[in-house]
Amino acid sequence: MTVNNKEIIREIIVINKLGIHARPSSMLVQTANQYEADLFVSHDEQDEVNAKSIMGVMMLAAGQGTKLRFRTTGPDGEELLNKIEQLINSKFNED
């Protein structure tokens, strides 16, 4: 059980032109909410917010080129991070 719940950290760079504005935030949060694992995201240690909360994610105001640090704990954390990375790299179907 503890093996499954280990903390995973992954840094992902925002590449879409407008950054994580309202629509990408909602896509990100909706993805995160499909998983059991907790997901937190920050620019730096201090500003960590819950990635399952849309206002929290928008608060980051992460523009293009921002390096986001995702931290997850929970059984399906790895899978969730893969999905999030895929989503960010797909530029949220924008651009």
**Binding region for another protein (CB under 8 A):** 22, 45-50, 52-56, 58-59, 61
Residues 6+ apart with CB under 8 A from 19: 61, 62, 63, 64, 66
Q: How far is the CB of 23 from another protein (least distance, A)?
A: 11
Q: For another protein, which is the closer residue by CB, 50 or 91?
A: 50
Catalytic residues: 21
Query: Taking Cα atoms as reference points, which of 65, 56, 55 lies closest to residue 16?
Result: 65
Residues 6+ apart with CB under 8 A from 73: 5, 6, 7, 8, 37, 38
Q: How far is the CB of 62 from another protein (least distance, A)?
A: 11
Residues 6+ apart with CB under 8 A from 47: 60
Q: How far is the CB of 65 from another protein (least distance, A)?
A: 18
Q: For another protein, which is the closer residue by CB, 57 or 87?
A: 57
Q: For another protein, which is the closer residue by CB, 48 or 85?
A: 48
